[in-house]
Amino acid sequence: MSEPIRVVVTGAAGQIAYSLLYIIAKGDVFGPNQPLILHLLDIPPMMGVLEGVVMELADCALPLLHGVVPTADPAEAFKDVSAAFLVGAMPRKQGMERKDLLSANVKIFKVQGEALDQHAKKDVKVLVVGNPANTNALVCAKYAPSIPKENFTAMTRLDQNRAQAQIAAKTGVPVANVSNVIIWGNHSSTQVPDASFAKVVKGGKTLSASEAVNNDAWLQNEFIETVQKRGAAVIAARKMSSAMSAAKAAGDHMRSWFLGTEPGKYVSMGVLSDGSYDTPKDVVFSFPVTIENGKWQIVKGLQIGDHYRQLLEATGKELVEERAEAFAIIEA
């Protein structure tokens, strides 16, 4: 068995972390032969709650979990970590403007970028879950200049999983029979769920989503809207935001990054845009990627239809605006 790696989860006393910590500690993310030491960061008022989480982790008696470090100090939390799940962020409260939320959260991600820069391993893989996830990842990367920019990513895997589940339900196949659904752009209501290149295995045959669904109007309208609004639908029903599914998606994202994608398959991740598909450069934009040896690569050469091209432009524009707002706040 290899040496333990250190993995940090921020927002460790929150609801996503409550599901995520178990998924990580039992070996679903880094594999069944990789021991770990979990670093748990939250803010000082949450230390009591965090103590309870630490007790429960101990009581799970998980063989791969070699240690737990609960802390409110970013320097201790980020020390020597190989993977970082940045989940902790201020939630949107009633009456709060989007700008207020952006203001509180981009400052958190500046501080955490600086702490990663000073204390983490230089090859740390960082996944930002806390919203606005794409712009927070950009801010974090900017304040961690000694860590390669490609090591900062934002989560759109929950949107991808939601999209796969919708197509599986529509075509009557298990969710594992659906692959290569793409999420383009921002993890917001402007995101673009795109099934143009998706594959559905049905009755022993591999079909395109268009063939399997046999209703292009549904794929171009209702499907997109359902995925875009799924988070709001969960809140309306549960009175709380998605947590179990968000934790599962965070684990899926990091697992793909560490262990790679299967041949012929790709996953969606928010990564620093190189301008592929005429998207704006230097924003964290969700693209389809393949991953080998811990390195992601944007899937190139897909022929984007006119309907999707317009949607890509709109989500790109939103990311450019968010970037301007975020850096105006930080530099003010």
Catalytic residues: 187
Non-local (6+) Cβ contacts of 98 within 8 A are none
Residue 113 within binding range of ligand NAX, rule CB under 6 A: no
Question: Is the distance from CB of 186 to CB of 322 less than 8 angstroms?
Answer: yes
Which residue in the set 23, 89, 209, 212 belongs to the binding site for ligand NAX (CB under 6 A)? 89
Question: Is the distance from CB of 243 to CB of 15 less than 8 angstroms?
Answer: yes
Residue 15 within binding range of ligand NAX, rule CB under 6 A: yes
Which residue in the set 8, 16, 126, 283 belongs to the binding site for ligand NAX (CB under 6 A)? 16
- Residue 255 is assigned to a ligand binding site: no
Which residue in the set 5, 19, 27, 91 belongs to the binding site for ligand NAX (CB under 6 A)? 91
- Paired tokens of 35: 């021991």
Which residue in the set 6, 125, 187, 255 belongs to the binding site for ligand NAX (CB under 6 A)? 187
The dihedral over CA atoms of 110, 230, 280, 197, expressed in degrees to the nearest 10, equals: 130
Q: Residue 30 CB, nearest distance to ligand NAX (Å)?
A: 20
SS (H, E, C) 158-214: HHHHHHHHHHHHHHCCCHHHEECCEEEECCCCCCEEECCCCEEEECCEEEEHHHHHC
Burial of 263 (0-12, 13-18, 19+ CB in 10 A): exposed
How many whole angstroms separate alpha carbon 85 and alpha carbon 252? 12
Of 139-147, 237-245, 253-261, 316-324, the segment contacting ligand NAX by CB under 6 A is 237-245
Question: Is the distance from CB of 68 to CB of 21 less than 8 angstroms?
Answer: no
Residue 10 within binding range of ligand NAX, rule CB under 6 A: yes
Q: Residue 134 CB, nearest distance to ligand NAX (Å)?
A: 9
Of the candidates 16, 11, 8, 18, which has an alpha carbon nearest to the alpha carbon of residue 88?
Answer: 11
Question: Is the distance from CB of 16 to CB of 155 less than 8 angstroms?
Answer: no
- Residue 98 is assigned to a ligand binding site: yes
Strand 36-41 and strand 125-128: the pairing is unpaired
* Contacts with ligand NAX, 27-46, as mask; x by CB under 6 A: --------------xxx--x
Task: Read off the DSSP letter of residue 150.
Answer: G
Q: Is the CB of 115 or the CB of 198 nearer to ligand NAX?
A: 115
Question: Is the distance from CB of 231 to CB of 163 less than 8 angstroms?
Answer: no
Residue 318 within binding range of ligand NAX, rule CB under 6 A: no
Task: Read off the DSSP letter of residue 90.
Answer: P
Which of positions 120-159 make contact with ligand NAX (CB under 6 A)? Answer: 129-131, 133, 155, 158
Of 8-16, 190-198, 215-223, 257-265, the segment contacting ligand NAX by CB under 6 A is 8-16
Which of positions 241-260 make contact with ligand NAX (CB under 6 A)? Answer: 241-243, 246
Q: Residue 111 CB, nearest distance to ligand NAX (Å)?
A: 7
- Residue 238 is assigned to a ligand binding site: no
Residue 19 within binding range of ligand NAX, rule CB under 6 A: no
**Chain length of the chain:** 332
Residue facing ligand NAX at closest CB distance? 14
Q: Which residues are annotated as part of the binding site for substrate?
A: 92, 98, 131, 162
Binding site for ligand NAX (CB under 6 A): 10-11, 13-17, 41-43, 46, 87-91, 108, 129-131, 133, 155, 158, 187, 241-243, 246
Q: Which residues are annotated as part of the binding site?
A: 42, 92, 98, 105, 129-131, 162
